Chains A and B, each alone.
Chain A
Amino acid sequence: MRTYILQRFLQMIIVMVVVMLVSFIIVELPPGDFLTTLREQLTDQNVDPKVIDSTVEMYRARYGLGENWFIRFGKWAWSLMKGDMGYSMQHNRPASELMGERLSLTIWISIATLIFMFVVSVPIGMLSAIKQYSAWDHSFTFLALLGVSVPSFITALVFLLLSVTLLGATTVAGLFSPEYVTAEWSWAKFVDMLKHVWIILFIVGLGDTASTIRVMRARMLDTLGEPYIDTARMKGLSGAKIYFRHALRVAINPIISSIGLRFPQIISGSTIVAIVLTLPLIGPLLLEALLGEDVYLACSILVVLTLALVIGNFLADLALAWLDPRIRFES
């Protein structure tokens, strides 16, 4: 077990290093010098030449510009680790400042979406398998197919339309009511967010929830056909014990291991929805940065998202090992 965790942990580090290297190469790719661009920008803004010189000199030192590529990489990576995300040329602000709240909101919404997906899809999928070909199964098969096939931005638009036309709402878009958007975090603001967030969870999570229902149903059906379920039945166990104690833990395995894969899907899925609903998430910022060739910002976002993804995967691996003795045994 300890080797297994260590193994997964080292894999995580390796993935992070590779992603940072790739990001670094992207940062280095654009022709011209970042400092030249910076100097031009600052000059355009009529900043005091002395301040320009000192700012440029500070960046030169911090990123080791003009030195060997591996020293530059080292300095860049080190400053990243310290939380310095670099400088957004588009916004003329440090990247970390721009990302700040958006990043944490994105991560929280992703986690909430994952939980929403689990809580909704696992019981529905399980019951669909237990009551195969029943009215329940047929209706959720239909709904799940609908959920898989309708793109999330369409759902988002439909929601917008419905809430505006039917409910006369004016504040469906966004994560907060207008009066809270710029307000400091407070209990009232949190409650206001909860009012808005469920729609987002629903829209972002719909596709994944629908497909997970199908996966869960199929897995449960497979598991219920296994001989060890017959063994459990022949012990005289009740249906609930067979389904929850014996079948569920086997059937849920691939869904847990897919958490890591769901994560990027949710982030990219939420990007589209965030654009439609004008949500302060990280996705739109990344898109903007990519379009505007704002390399430091884009790379920082990529690195941070990768970090979240890799940690998510690591946690999923740990959960699997805790659940399945065969995985513990392998290592």
Chain B
Amino acid sequence: MNTAPDSDKVLEIRDLQISFSSIAGTTRAVNGVSLDVRSGEIVGLVGESGCGKSVTIRSIVGLVPSPPALFEAGEIWLRTRRGMTETLSLHKNMKALRQIRGRDVSMIFQEPMRSVHPMMTIGKQITEGILEHEVVDPAEAYERTVEMLDLVGLPNPAAQMNRYAHELSGGMRQRALIALALVCHPQLLLADEPTTALDVTIQAQILELIRDLRERMSMSVLLITHNMGVVANLADRISVMYLGKIMETGTVEEIFKEPAHPYTQGLLASMPSLFSQPKTHLQSLRGVVPELAMVPKGCVFADRCPYVMPKCDETPPVVELRADHSAACWLYADGGETQGSEVAETAMPALSDEGARADPLQPVDVAPLSSSEPTSEGALGRPSENDVAQLQIENVALHYPILRGLLRRQVGTVRAVDGVDLTIRRGETLGLVGESGCGKTSVGRLVARLVEPTAGRIRFGADGGLEEITHISQKEMKRVRRAMGMVFQDPLSSLNARMNIRNIVGEPLMLHQVARGRAVDDRVGELLEMVGLRAAHQSRFPHAFSGGQRQRIAIARALATEPSFLVADEPVSALDVSVQAQILNLLLTLQQRLNLSMLFIAHDIAVVRHVSDRIAVMYLGKIVELGEAREICVRPVHPYTEALLASIPLPMPGLETLREMPKGDLPDPANPPTGCRFHTRCPYSQPICEEEEPPLRHIAGDADHFGACHFQDELYLEGVEEIGEIQGSAAAKAGGK
């Protein structure tokens, strides 16, 4: 059985089975995974969290501690400098494993912030790796490290050698870690969610770097991610993993153009993309990834699959659909491909559907899979021009003093929010988008008066006309808050773990004396059903719910007092793709049903575009562009908006949205650049940009679109076009090559 694979393969995993034993019993985390990576190839391993992706790639290099892990079956063949080696059998042989790690195969991890040693200089950490594997003198190791730091694009590499982790930003740390991983020229790089913790513009830079290094160092990459967009732009082939099994494997084109497995289709449809019809329901997978102990027999996806049939009680075979494209699904077995392609044609989501491509502007008419959510058709009302304002903030600022030294003197000011004007009309959703540290969360907190504004005016219309709430007392604010709900990013830490759901959701009711006693129970029951949970679960505690369910609870609490305005601060960014789609659908439904106005804050412009009527783009405490949602995405006027759009990895292989990427990191908000704050990263920067700060003003010929760029009426910036145009331009690009 132990025959080495072909020589063009760098890695081959055969039928890997890993279980974990605990007090509760044994669960199988990896259940028969087979996977290969060829020379020079980038392979993406995609799936939601808890599907066994990390365990699979960590077992390649023996990073899974055993016990508790139990390697029950399988082989892992890795091409090393000594020829093909089976690494699973080396797990007890630390010495042999150590020779492979860092030299033949390297790994970069999800959290660059925590993956660099905090008390060692960058240089020392990297040279340590060289000295471990090669007999070189320290001076040469030093030279090579500097070269490597240069290669990964760190500015002034010699100076970086003596710096510590805390002196580098997240993006720079990930670059340093890539340098560390590649300094001994391994043939295979394992990348475990390398960009998940980074901002979109930085993510785009890191992906570009990996792509570039693959060529220059002629290595292969095995990349884990939950983001379909990331693999579309980077990978050659993709394996989709779900609950310890590979559901589908194929080239990137095949997977995206003709996804065969219902799980792949669901993942693709769940992503709000820059092409989806805004304010419609995303076709989300129903349910959530079950606990490993509750995995269905037979096909593990059966309980969430829209095409489930009796046969799915048995384990589906892996069907070769084409050379290099296989799926583990009963749809394609037996009767052969006819049945499969039939299903694929009728039921495939819009992106991959031939019909939709022919008539792209047709609204995507998808019936939601979850019965608890009403259909998306009907009045998707947009607020009209003369609607009254619900919230108006004028020139609002939030400054934090920086205190230093013995006497805590103020040595500077962090201008988290630095003069922002916004108006939200009744029934409107305003999306606020920007990278972390741009001040968008502070705006949300200012609006809810959770922090005291340094300057400016906040006016809010609880019921009727606008009233000033900038400096009213917290006692008066209590009355206003009844009309204002807030949903936070982390659904676990924003729910009190010691309170049951009835008290969490019912607390606002009691606080505002809306209900008491039995009436609270009834109202909480109603609210829970409204957000798609069971009324009977009132007595449970937050830890009994999954991430998506907790966010539903948080939404129920925010809506308990029937507010007319909701602040949603990154409500979906901590959730898996399929759950994210469910929560977005829920928010859209509730907004229409309850006629809510909403301030929707997120870092992902695709998500924001999907739910918002208008979008405000924020950079270093200032609004740089404001306008109608689709207009902003199609015809951005500020280079930063263009950069944000270009940074979103599109779930369309071969499509290069990347024009010129913004350079470097977000500047220090305590010391923002002079003039236009974006000029340090702007590819179109002119001398005037360094001196004069452009005000937010109308775009010529468009009363609803504002920009803060000196050249907004002259520059032609590239947005993301509507589906029809993009297909055309993709074809043109393909033809041009």
Contacts and interface: CB of A to CB of B under 8 A. Distances in A.
Interface in B97-142: 98-103, 106-107, 109-111, 114-120, 125, 128-129, 132-133
B260 to A, nearest CB: 35
Interface string A62-80: 0000000000000000000
A220 to B, nearest CB: 15
Interface in A3-57: 3, 6-7, 10
Contacts of A97: none
Interface stretch (A120-128, A204-212, A318-326): A318-326
B129 A236 contact: yes
Contact of B405 (A3, A245, A323): A3
B128 A235 contact: yes
Interface residues on B, range: 20 to 34
Nearest to B181: A234
A324 B119 contact: yes
A139 interface: no
A176 B166 CA distance: 53
B61 interface: yes
A239 B97 CA distance: 12
B94 A239 contact: yes
Max count, chain B CB within 10 A of own CB: residue among A237, A246, A324, A325: A325
B406 interface: yes
Nearest to A247: B117
B177 interface: yes
Contacts of A235: 101-102, 128-129, 132, 180
B101 A234 contact: yes
B63 A236 contact: no
Interface residues of A, number: 27
A227 B102 contact: no
A325 B164 contact: yes
Interface in A265-297: none
A236 B61 CA distance: 10
A329 B101 contact: no
Interface in A182-234: 226-228, 230-234
B115 A227 contact: yes
Nearest to A6: B406
A236 B101 contact: yes
A10 B129 CA distance: 42
A171 B181 CA distance: 63
Max count, chain A CB within 10 A of own CB: residue among B103, B111, B120, B180: B120
Nearest to A239: B94
Contacts of B166: 325-326, 329
B167 interface: yes
A38 B506 CA distance: 73
Nearest to A132: B65
Contacts of B167: 329
Given A235-B102, A236-B101, A326-B166, A228 B117 contact: yes
Interface string B61-99: 101000000000000000000000000000000100011
12 contacts: A3-B406, A227-B109, A227-B115, A228-B115, A231-B117, A234-B63, A237-B98, A239-B94, A246-B120, A324-B119, A326-B119, A326-B166
Interface of A: 3, 6-7, 10, 226-228, 230-239, 245-246, 249-250, 323-326, 329, 331
Given A6-B406, A230-B109, 10 more contacts: A7-B406, A227-B115, A230-B63, A231-B117, A234-B61, A235-B132, A236-B99, A236-B101, A325-B166, A331-B405
